[in-house]
Amino acid sequence: MLKGFIKIFSLIVFFTITAYSQNKYAVSVNYTPVLNTPDYNSVFGYNDGNSIKLDGRGLIGEMEFIALPNTVFEILESLTEGDHFIYKAITDDYPYKNSTLFIDSRFVKLFNKRPSNRNIENLSNENIIRNLNSLDGLMYMWGGNTPNGIPELLDYYPPKGEISDNIKNIWKLKGVDCSGLLYYATDGATPRNTSSLVSYGDSVYIYGMNAEQISEIVRPLDLIVWDGHVVIILDNQTTIESTPDKGVHKTNLLSRLKYIIKDRKPINEWNITSGKRFVIRRWFK
């Protein structure tokens, strides 16, 4: 009896390993949460099963981003987690060397050959601005880049009891962060993090200028950006951004520039020693 059980167990392990070895790629079927930890249960449920793990900033520090449908991942490692797997993976859509990425197998479909990368639609200026405007008033979510979040998280990692609507929204990762606002509006055509946006597109030469001078030369969809935050120019009078304290909100362009210049100096090109400065990048042509 014991030998029979061991044989069956060995076969299950063999077929599981074989199946995994033949499926080295995954494609997101829907919006897919991507964390920097394999322990999803420690985030969605935390200590009491009814909470979300938040860091000292009040944010989900384990969140990296939300992969859009049809995002391609290369699987590096497979970890068993109950009735599903957690995959350690990499993706061209998030090429940041210091980030270790983990995805839940229930959000993806496996392939043994590398599929084609996600098709990115070239949206018009009008469509991108319309998408940005549609998110005005949305809550802030670190690592978030889809306004409705991911409702499946409440099913895959169900709370143990009743939770408030606010906690439900956080559980679903509803909302966007600053670069996630742009990522959503462009259907993932722009880099996901500000560390890439500081050198994305072309430089707008602003060194030595004051706020009034800068406001005269910028164009819609130019980015006021530094490593850590991005403000998007909507038109010659308005900016839009997402911040932890206000969520997605609009501000007068000149007022926003004056406020930024109080703390940061305008420069033409970003570099690792830039310090408290900012650049303006023109990426849309």
Tens-digit pLDDT profile for the chain (285 aa)? Answer: 444 444 434 433 433 444 444 679 999 999 999 999 999 999 999 989 999 999 999 999 999 999 999 999 999 999 988 889 999 999 999 999 888 999 999 999 999 999 999 998 889 999 999 999 999 999 999 999 999 999 999 999 999 999 999 999 999 999 999 999 999 999 999 999 999 999 999 999 999 999 999 999 999 999 999 999 999 999 999 999 999 999 999 999 999 999 999 999 999 999 978 889 999 999 998
Specify the pLDDT at position 272: 79
Quickly tell me which residue has 């990522």 as its tokens. Answer: 183
Give me the long-range contacts of 157-164 (CB less than 8 A, separation at least 24): 157/40, 157/41, 157/44, 157/45, 159/45, 159/49, 159/50, 160/45, 160/48, 160/49, 160/50, 161/49, 161/50, 163/50
Specify the pLDDT at position 275: 86
Specify the pLDDT at position 124: 95
First and final C-alpha spacing in the chain: 71
Q: Is 0.75 topped by the overall pTM? A: yes
> Who's near 151: CB < 8 A, 6+ residues apart?
172
